[in-house]
Structure 1
Amino acid sequence: MSVLRSSGSSVSCVQDQGSRPGYNSQQALADVITRTASQLGIRGLAVGVRQVRRWESANPPWPQPDVRRVLTHLLGQDVEDLGFTAPWGAGQGPQETGHTASTGAPVPWMRLPTVPTRTVLITQPATVSTDFETVTRSHRHLYWSVAPATLHPAVLEHSRLGCALLPEVTSATRPRLAAALAETYLLAGRIEFFDLREPEQASETLLRALQAAGEADDPLMGAAALAHTAFISGWAEDRDAAVERMVAARAYARRGPASAEFWAWLDAVEAECETRCGNTRIALHLIGHAEDVLADGSEHTTPPWMDWFSPTRLAAFKGNTQLKAGHIPQARETLLQVLEALPPESDKQRTVVLGDLAAVEVADNNPQPACAFVGQALDQLALTWYATGMDRIREVRRTLAPWQNEQCVRTLDDRLYDWGMIISALQR
């Protein structure tokens, strides 16, 4: 395999005399990086000889996030190990104070380890995969109640443990351990994107989930990781990237076997991306197809780790799309039914539904019930923080501007911007 090799503080494009040959020229390296970016669904990334030459200088510039993703995927090493120095210094992250735990103390940003690709030492018993899975499963359950800034460091540390164990197990144990590691990375990426609103970091973490899924040869986990990267592109309104990643996710799901629920979730993800990009007609068609898939059912079971989707969750997607499409009465009816059907453990989703119901009332020129729904959402956020739910509330507050001087809006502002809420939101 061709590699960049660290040489002091710089990076050289060299011919490695070891077991993995390097690139014969700077142009060859630039070409393979550009091709690999396209294969990973990164559009518009092109690296030239001049950029490679800069990497070979005494003080190579820190690569952009997409370039770092390609280098990590291509070479199997962290960029620091290739000779690059992060501008924020060793052991720190680009937003060192970005995570704040419930204690108020900063949580250091933790660099993700590279997923090992082959066994070099066997020292662990076969039971290690079961033990690792037990903790992974516990993290999955804790996600629905534990504060994300508290759970996230524990999940990342668990991923580090998995990467350390992976080279130390037998080939028979490795797929099961790798699958649990992939789930751990997937959970970390979900927390980073949905709870902490860190899409760039989530992209890198989900790439690790995809790598671990490959080690496990688990196509459904691979499909889930790819679909979550499509979420990130869709929310950034990059439709081309979102569609391309969904095509890849569906290709992996066909290797499944995927359950009806899994296929419906893929439709729902794509519908969310289309909605974010303004294509509500396409989104409603996808949701209708998902409803038909669920009604038909299938003989295959849904993986236990896919605990974030159900027919009720699909209806929540539908209500949001109806809202964005301007189908206000239908959206109100759908979302009220969802609110009634949500189970007690779906507190995070409840804040999103309440936010959408508030938006429905704003669209129907009803500021008082809109403020009441926002108040209920704030009550829920005080118990279970969810950045995506807070985003919905902020969107509703912006649309309430025409009623700025109404008492219900002023009362809402007093609640929304009190000391505790504003400090909590800014910390997170």
Structure 2
Amino acid sequence: MTRSTGNVRLKAARVAAGFNSQQDLADALTEHAGRMGIRGLSVGVRQVRRWESDNPPWPQPDCQRVLVHLLGQSLETLGFTPPWGADGPKSDPVRPAQVAGGAGLSLSLASVRSTSAPQPATAGSDFRSVTKSHRRLYWSVTPTKLHPAVMAHATLGCALIPETAEPTRSVIAAALAETYLLAGRIEFFDLREPSLAHETFLLALQAAGEADDSLLGSAIIAHMAFIPGWTGDRDAARERMIAARTYARRTSASAEFLAWLDAVEAECETRCGDTRTALNLIGHAEDVLREGNEHASPEWMDWFSPARLAAFKGNTQLLAGHLPQARESLLDALETMAPGEEKQRTVVYGDLAAVEASSGNTEEACSYVGEALDQLALTWYATGMDRVRDVRRALTPHQHERCVRDLDDRLYDWSTTVSALSR
């Protein structure tokens, strides 16, 4: 019976560098990360053991940097196979990010070689057409059903890139970046998996780099700012927004795109407790939209509009305690929303309910929650359901009133309860 030898390349490099045990290497990597200025990275012996196994996972981005710097060899030389390679070992063909733990930005797809026949020039437009379809389906298909299809499409894109030449390669890379961006949006906003979304956004950013698409890169980084922003990590969110704005300056960004960057930063500042800065950013976004410019927004930017900006504004005003202004902004958002914005409509209903609850208008608050539940029954959106739950908690002092009890009958009927708990 043949005995497995594991990743002998990494083991040989470890021993050659003077680290006789896996624990020695783990300790050295943790210490070296600190000297490199990488905060909070701790490598355990279990991780090193996985790297020296038969199917070593692609290391996390920070781990990549430390491994390469400490051992003086590339990841491929150390026995790791990039997730982009069609022939590399993958225990899960649907999710490269889970297998690989995220792709590093230094990885060059140009170094990947394929033994398959070259793809025709039509492969780019064919792959991109499916990406466009998934983008439209996001607004109507249940997230848990759409996500596997999107990730499977991303796997196909990873396999196609090594088999194509320019300009088809760039077309596929850009569509792949959009695909990973969509998957990350589902993971963050719909499935509430921020750590998973972070890894997916990294893959999206790498693909955008292969396509040399700075605007798409800016959009991806701005989405990544939501992750620390929603947990109150202002410094990390601001750092990512600086990077997003830097990428946007490298290309011709539309007024709508620049206003969206303001709105993203405003939401992060709101979540971090600085509503004054957030309102200033929203005011600037409104000015940018009014001034306009000659640049058109990219086709893939289907998540923002003046109505969405009004919704951002209303939420910030609500949290700042400016209730009459919040009510006005949110009602304006509802009136100006176009067909296809149903997911955001549930959030606006939830915020309007919160305004009325804070104003002591219990019946009006329950009415808006009912509107949100009606919409959630048609188009599920975890962010919208979060707003509903927040309002119900705010109504606890009034839970014996008839309208609140009727609301509970709606909120905890069979279909809503099973739907919420299953997600």
TM-score, normalised with respect to structure 1: 0.82
Tell me whether 1:286 sits opposite 2:273 in the alignment. Answer: no
The answer to whether the 8 Å contact 1:354/1:377 transfers is: yes
Q: Deviations for 1:345-364, whole angstroms, at most 9, x for unmatched residues?
A: 11100000000000000110
**Is 1:70 the equivalent of 2:69?**
no
**1:135 counterpart letter in structure 2:** V
Deviations 1:371-407, CA, capped at 9 Å, x for gaps: 0000010000000000000000011111001101111
User: 1:124 and 1:46 mapped to 2: Cα distance?
Assistant: 41
Q: Note if 1:158 corresponds to 2:153.
A: yes
Q: Is the Cα–Cα contact under 8 Å of residues 116 and 166 in structure 1 kept in the other structure?
A: no
RMSD: 3.3
Q: Deviations over 1:213-262 (max 9, x none)?
A: 01111111111111111011111111111111111111111112211111
Tell me if structure 1 keeps the 8 A contact 2:262–2:284: yes
Amino acid across the alignment from 2:60: R
Q: Distance in 2 between matches of 1:76 and 1:215?
A: 19
Alignment of 1:189-338 (within 5 A): 189-338=184-333
CA distance in 1, matches of 2:342, 2:354: 19
Contact 2:95–2:155 (8 Å) recurs in 1: no
Among all aligned residue pairs of Structure 1 and Structure 2, give the percentage whose two residues are the same amino acid.
59
CA spacing shift, 1:142–1:244, aligned 2, 3 Å: same
CA distance in 2: counterparts of 1:275 and 1:300, whole angstroms? 29
Question: By percentage of residues, which structure has more helix?
Answer: 2
Q: Contact between 1:331 and 1:360, CA under 8 Å: does it hold in 2?
A: yes
> Which ranges in structure 2 are unaligned for 5 or more consecutive residues?
20-24, 69-73, 82-89
> Which of 347, 354, 357 matches 1:359?
354
The more displaced of 26-35 and 131-140 is: 26-35
Query: One-letter code of the match for 1:70?
Result: D
Quote the offset at 1:298 in angstroms.
1.5
Structure 1 regions of 5+ residues with no counterpart?
Answer: 1-5, 17-21, 39-43, 83-89, 94-106
| Distance in 2 of aligned mates of 1:219 and 1:58 | 35
Alignment match, 1:12: 10
Give secondary structure in 2 for the equivalent of 1:170. Answer: coil
- Residues 23 and 341 of structure 1, relative CA distance in 2, 3 Å threshold: farther
- 2:85 corresponding residue in structure 1: none
- Seen in structure 2, the aligned counterparts of structure 1 residues 30 and 378 have a Cα distance that, compared at 3 Å, is same
Distance 1:59 1:170 in 2: 32
Structure 1 pair 350/109, CA: closer, same or farther in 2 (3 Å)? farther
Paired residue total: 387
For the Cα contact (< 8 Å) 1:69–1:204, is it kept in 2? no
* CA pair 409-160 structure 1, distance change in 2 beyond 3 A: same
CA distance in 1 between counterparts of 2:18 and 2:109 reads: 24
* Greater shift in the superposed pair: 231-240 or 270-279: 231-240
Deviation at 1:424, TM superposition (A): 0.7
Could you tell me how far apart the structure 1 residues matched to 2:386 and 2:264 are?
18
TM-score (norm 2): 0.83
- Does the 8 Å CA contact 2:174/2:213 hold for their aligned counterparts? yes
